[in-house]
Amino acid sequence: DAGITQSPRHKVTETGTPVTLRCHQTENHRYMYWYRQDPGHGLRLIHYSYGVKDTDKGEVSDGYSVSRSKTEDFLLTLESATSSQTSVYFCATGGSTNTGELFFGEGSRLTVL
Amino acid sequence: AQTVTQSQPEMSVQEAETVTLSCTYDTSESDYYLFWYKQPPSRQMILVIRQEAYKQQNATENRFSVNFQKAAKSFSLKISDSQLGDAAMYFCAYGSGGATNKLIFGTGTLLAVQP
């Protein structure tokens, strides 16, 4: 298994506050992703990275930003959290396009009151 | 844009019986990957099985097998000899590989296993 850790695992915050979720990997994978999981929607891609300082938007990127200053770390920031961003957030990594497989972290549950 | 559809929000199976979860997808690409991921109550996403589109042979992993129909864009998962531990949410996913290696997920099927 890819060593992927997310922090924090649980967070409750208030509307309008900034929130940063961290993803750390030990597998030296090139690709990293942030997904959100909501009932009835499955997992939807927020942002992804294909290398250090190389990031791009996914299908639900509004209200989110990301940064990747090192291969092992991928940060997801909610600039001003809203109740619609209450969700479970998953970080994933992929090492090769030859297999297509993604490896997932354990998820971070965020509640915005 | 590619899409993945799982039309069965919930399914139920008796222990030791066989169940099939459905998945259809839409793409204009000829080379891609398809996956089934399992998410138990622990929330961890676990890869169950993978299929490369260029391979005609259906993938099999122990009690899990797929029926891949490329022309019909269908990718169903069959679980044989169902066990209590198979109870989970199952997600079908499409990946084009390539420069971004992104996966597109269906909405999931919640499988209950009855003892």
Q: Name the token pair of A11.
A: 């967070």
Quick one: average pLDDT of A84-103? 87
Which residue of B45, B50, B75 to mutate against A (max A Cβ within 10 Å)?
A: B45
Q: Is pLDDT above 80 for A2?
A: no
Q: Cβ contact (<8 Å) for B99 and A50?
A: yes
Give A 82-101 residues with CB within 8 A of chain B.
88, 90, 92, 94, 96-101
Compute CA distances A111 → A15, A25, A78, A81, whole Å: 10, 24, 12, 9
* A33-42 pLDDT, tens digit each: 999 999 989 9
Say which residues have a Cβ less than 8 Å from residue B32's Cβ, sequence separation at least 6: A100, B53, B94, B95, B96, B97
What gap in Å lies between CA A36 and CA A15, rounded to an integer? 18
Q: What's the burial of A85, exposed, middle or buried (CB within 10 Å: 0-12/13-18/19+)?
A: buried
Output the CA angle B58-B26-B8, nearest 5 degrees.
75
Task: Tell if the CB–CB gap between B108 and A42 is shorter than 8 Å.
Answer: yes
- Which among A42, A100, A107 has CB closest to B105? A42
Q: Do B100 and A40 touch (CB under 8 A)?
A: no
How confident is residue A96, by pLDDT bands cut at 50, 70 and 90?
low
Q: Chain A contacts of B42, Cβ < 8 Å? A: 106
In Å, how far are A40, B2, B103 from B98, measured between CA atoms?
28, 14, 11
Query: Given CA atoms B23, B27, B30, B33 in this order, what sign does their dihedral have?
Result: negative
In this predicted structure, the answer to whether residue A79 has a pLDDT above a threshold of 80 is: yes
B43 CB neighbour count, 10 Å cutoff: 17
Closest CA to B73 of B17, B115, B10, B29: B29
Distance from CA of B33 to the nearest CA of A (A): 7
Q: What is the mean pLDDT of residues A9-27?
A: 97
From the centroid of its chain, how far is CA B3? 14
Q: Residues of A with CB below 8 A from B99's CB?
A: 50, 97
CA distance linking residue B12 with residue B18, whole number of Å: 10
**Which residues are within 8 A (CB) of A66 and not within 5 positions of it... i.e. 6 or more apart?**
A34, A46, A47, A49, A55, A74, A75, A76, A77
Among the ranges given (A31-40, A61-70, A99-108, B3-12), the one the predictor scored with the smallest mean pLDDT: A99-108
The single-letter DSSP state of residue B28 is S
Closest Cβ–Cβ partner in B45, B102, B105 for A48? B102
* Contact check, Cβ <8 Å, A50/B97: no
Mutation pick from B7, B27, B101 vs chain A, by most beta carbons of A within 10 Å, is: B101
CA A6 – CA B72 distance, rounded (Å): 38
- Confidence at residue B85, expressed as pLDDT on a 0 to 100 scale: 96
Note the pLDDT tens digit of each residue in B58-111: 999 999 999 999 999 999 999 999 999 999 999 999 998 776 778 999 999 999
Q: Tokens for B20, please give them.
A: 């099939």
